[in-house]
């Protein structure tokens, strides 16, 4: 099954790499092409969020490991953690954002790479972090002011925070971080070498190209939906039916649909409420990034406890 996942992910990365190159060329040639923030929200709600919509199934598995039967305990805990993240963002936005970016870096790096690495070690965890850190650093490198503007829309109103970012930009810290991310991809490729690991460089250049040509929101949407989420969804589909990826994907869609629809409903309720105080684009940015943070924390905790206790 591991070899099957490696082969499918390599093909997926090839397709994604060529597709975004063609898209960026068209965007460069026809500069009137425009992708609205509402389309980004739809893509994230339909494709992006769905890759975590089997968490209730994983929650049942975790409860069985602890000899607990009530699925309501899982739902209450999951929702409570999400609510705590939102409250923390309102009360301590700068700290919560930094923690979220660090955790997201590790999460992206791990889920995009772990199918290539068999052994578990602290060094590999560091490699995961720096590989995923590229997703955070490239918008800052190519679109610094635009990324800062997004931070400001996310309730970050802390002069010390922005002074630190300006210091980081002036001292080339971002470039150093990108260099470390490049090294991590090289280490992953060379460690227990096999040609299928070339996927790390396809992903690496795809992220650079996306952030060079596209705005931070659009670049993140393309990465999150069409690279990160689809890759994770394919892995889940193979787990559901190792013999048939197509049937496994049908099962995945069927099982993921209820929570995906529920998340979309709550998101549009929040959009309606926020639109009374903010313009549409600002409200959408808040829902996308604060909403993703509130879902990412319990999702990662679930993965961590499940992996730890399944040992």
pLDDT digits (tens, 9 = 90+) for 146-172: 998 888 888 666 666 767 777 777 678
Query: How many CB atoms within 10 Å of residue 160?
Result: 8
Q: Does residue 32 belong to any structural domain of this protein?
A: no
Predicted confidence at residue 27, as pLDDT, reads 76
Once rounded to an integer, what is the mean pLDDT over residues 88-107? 89
**Overall number of domains in the chain:** 1
Is the pLDDT score of 24 beyond 90? no
- The residue whose two tokens read 């490696």 is 6
Question: 74-79 long-range CB contacts below 8 Å, 24 or more apart?
Answer: 77/298, 78/298, 78/302
CA separation for the pair 289, 283 (Å, rounded): 10
Lookup: tokens for 153: 């829309």
Q: Does residue 79 belong to any structural domain of this protein?
A: yes
CA angle 234, 225, 22 (to 5 degrees): 100
Predicted confidence at residue 311, as pLDDT, reads 58
Predicted confidence at residue 2, as pLDDT, reads 60
Span between the terminal Cα atoms of the chain, in Å: 19
Is the pLDDT score of 1 beyond 70? no
Domain, as residue range, for 13:
2-23+38-310
pLDDT (tens digit, 9 = 90+) per residue, 292-309?
A: 899 888 888 888 888 777
Q: Are 282 and 154 in contact (CB under 8 A)?
A: no
Q: Does residue 275 belong to any structural domain of this protein?
A: yes
Predicted confidence at residue 159, as pLDDT, reads 67
CA separation for the pair 201, 272 (Å, rounded): 41
Predicted confidence at residue 58, as pLDDT, reads 84
Q: How far is CA 5 from the centre of its chain?
A: 19
Distances (CA, A) of 177 to 89, 123, 253, 300: 25, 17, 37, 23
Is the pLDDT score of 32 beyond 60? no
Q: Does residue 28 belong to any structural domain of this protein?
A: no
Q: Are 266 and 49 in contact (CB under 8 A)?
A: no
Q: Are 112 and 231 in contact (CB under 8 A)?
A: yes
CA separation for the pair 221, 76 (Å, rounded): 29
Once rounded to an integer, what is the mean pLDDT over residues 250-255? 87
Q: Does residue 48 belong to any structural domain of this protein?
A: yes
Once rounded to an integer, what is the mean pLDDT over residues 75-80? 89
pLDDT (tens digit, 9 = 90+) per residue, 203-244?
A: 999 999 999 999 999 999 999 999 999 888 888 888 888 888
């Amino acid at each position: 099954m591991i070899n099957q996942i490696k082969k499918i992910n390599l093909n997926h990365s090839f397709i994604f790499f060529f597709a975004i190159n063609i898209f960026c060329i068209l965007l460069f040639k026809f500069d009137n092409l425009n992708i609205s923030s509402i389309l980004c929200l739809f893509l994230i709600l339909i494709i992006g969020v769905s890759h975590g919509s089997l968490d209730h199934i994983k929650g049942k598995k975790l409860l069985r490991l602890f000899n607990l039967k009530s699925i309501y305990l899982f739902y209450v805990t999951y929702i409570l953690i999400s609510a705590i993240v939102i409250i923390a963002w309102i009360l301590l936005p700068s700290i919560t954002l930094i923690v979220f970016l660090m955790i997201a870096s590790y999460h992206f790096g791990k889920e995009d790479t772990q199918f290539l690495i068999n052994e578990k070690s602290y060094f590999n965890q560091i490699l995961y972090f720096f590989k995923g850190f590229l997703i955070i650093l490239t918008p800052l490198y190519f679109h610094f002011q635009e990324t800062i503007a997004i931070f400001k829309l996310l309730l970050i109103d802390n002069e010390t925070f922005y002074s630190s970012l300006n210091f980081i930009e002036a001292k080339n810290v971002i470039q150093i971080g990108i260099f470390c991310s490049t090294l991590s991809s090289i280490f992953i490729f060379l460690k227990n070498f096999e040609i299928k690991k070339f996927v790390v460089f396809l992903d690496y250049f795809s992220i650079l190209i996306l952030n060079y040509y596209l705005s931070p929101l659009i670049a993140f949407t393309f990465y999150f939906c069409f690279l990160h989420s689809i890759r994770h969804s394919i892995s889940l589909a193979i787990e559901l039916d190792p013999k048939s990826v197509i049937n496994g994907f049908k099962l995945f869609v069927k099982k993921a649909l209820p929570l995906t629809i529920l998340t979309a409903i709550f998101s549009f309720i929040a959009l309606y409420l926020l639109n009374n105080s903010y313009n549409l684009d600002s409200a959408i940015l808040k829902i996308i990034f604060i909403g993703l943070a509130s879902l990412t924390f319990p999702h990662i905790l679930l993965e961590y406890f499940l992996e730890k206790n399944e040992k």
